[in-house]
Amino acid sequence: MVDVTGNTRITGLFGCPVHHSQSPAMHNAAFRHLGLDFIYVPFNVQSDDLGVAVSAIRAFSMVGVNLTIPHKEQVVSLLDWVDDDALKIGSVNTIVNDEGMLRGYSTDGYGFIEDLISSGKSPESAKVVVLGAGGSARAIIFTLARRGAAEIAVVNRTYSRALELTIALNGVLGEEKIKPVALDSDEAKQSISAADLLVNCTSVGMYPDTDAQPIPSDWLHDGLFVYDQIYNPAETDLLREAKKTGARTANGIGMLVHQGARSFELWTGQKPPVEIMKNAVLKGFNVTNR
Ligand code: NAP
């Protein structure tokens, strides 16, 4: 437990729900490890209360907060300043209280790229297929494009959503390397057969008893690096099937840790103890590392 004093600096998480989040364990372990008088508290905040909750950051002199579902997009218009990349992505997952000025950042794309590279896959010149066109896909696609991916096919169940994301991101990036593809199409299969990086940004795989995997197993091949953003379960059906073909794989635990590590750095100005944070997350899930 963290000893709370009159000087303790408060950080936390605004989301709904927040009860299953590993972020409190991850950040509080890092604060303890570095001997910082900080605490991280999860707050269950309904969408209608987000404005009040954001005002409370100032009122309570909080250091800052993380945002999770469903607040990352809605919060952008409530801040005093938003980082340029976060504005282009249209999502903020970290607020820093800079002497009453609330600054917004997006660390999701950073977390993904850090973990991808440390898992041994460079985004440079990669031919990418991203499954999904939701909030996390947006941050990941933007960051992959910025970090030198050659082409990115956005394969989504709802084609119109992939199209809308493609138009928006190609527009802010000023290039045409992103294209929309319908999930139930020959083009989806062809895009994956030509790709060297496949990233699952759908929620398919979180509930192994009810959903299986986002694409048929026979679309996978040994030339792929398959990254599944899902971290619980640690090995989704998609990753298991990919490994069978000889493809290299990674799950989303490292992304979770690295996006948190970047938030930690923004709040404390200190180098985050990444391994301590990762161990706290793994302990929380009671799973072994990938
Ligand atoms: P989101 O905005 O709700 O988007 C969900 C996406 O999944 C949509 O593209 C949706 O397609 C697709 N999808 C849902 N059910 C599907 C199905 N049965 N078949 C095919 N496609 C389906 O969610 P998100 O915030 O991007 O998060 C997606 C996943 O990433 C979640 O599992 C989340 O926990 C995980 N995540 C991990 C990290 C990390 O740090 N590792 C960070 C963020 C998110 P439609 O457009 O057709 O509905």
132 & 224 share domain:
yes
Residue linked to tokens 């082409």: 151
Closest to 103 measured CA to CA, from 266, 272, 271, 264 = 266
Q: Does residue 3 fall inside a structural domain?
A: no
Do both 99 and 114 map to the same domain? no
* Tens digit of each residue's pLDDT (9 = 90 or more) over 136-156: 999 999 999 999 999 999 999
Asked if residue 261 has pLDDT above 70, the reply is yes
List phi, psi (to 5°) of 247: -70, 150
Of all protein residues, the one whose alpha carbon is nearest to atom 48 of ligand 1 is 158
Co-location of 99 and 131 in the same domain: no
- pLDDT band per the 50, 70, 90 thresholds, residue 289: very low
Report the share of the chain in percent with pLDDT over 70. Answer: 98
pTM, full prediction: 0.93
Looking at the structure, tell me whether residues 73 and 172 fall in a common domain: no
> Does residue 132 share a domain with residue 67?
no
Cross-strand partners of 42: 13
Q: In total, how many domains does the chain have?
A: 2
Q: Which residue has the tokens 């199209």?
A: 163
CATH code at 140? Answer: 3.40.50.720
Residue 164's domain spans which residues?
A: 109-251
List the structure tokens of 127: 């031919």
Residue 40 lies in a domain: yes
Query: What CATH code is carried by the domain that includes residue 264?
Result: 3.40.50.10860
pLDDT tens for 56-77 read: 999 999 999 999 999 999 999 9
Per-residue confidence (pLDDT) for residue 212, from 0 to 100: 79
Asked if residue 55 has pLDDT above 70, the reply is yes
pLDDT over threshold 80, residue 129: yes
Residue 68 falls inside a structural domain: yes
Compute the average pLDDT of residues 100-121.
97
| Together in a domain, 86 and 31 | yes
What integer best gives the mean pLDDT of the chain?
95
- pLDDT at residue 287 in the model: 53
Q: Ligand 1 test: best mutation among 157, 209, 228, 253, most atoms within 8 Å of CB?
A: 157
Ligand 1, CB within 6 Å, residue ranges: 69, 108, 111, 132-137, 156-158, 161, 201-204, 206, 211, 214, 229-231, 252, 255-256, 259
Whether residues 260 and 233 fall in one domain: no
Distance (Å, whole) CA 63 – CA 280 = 22
pLDDT reported for residue 1: 59
Q: What is the pLDDT of residue 277?
A: 98
Q: Are 229 and 201 in contact (CB under 8 A)?
A: yes
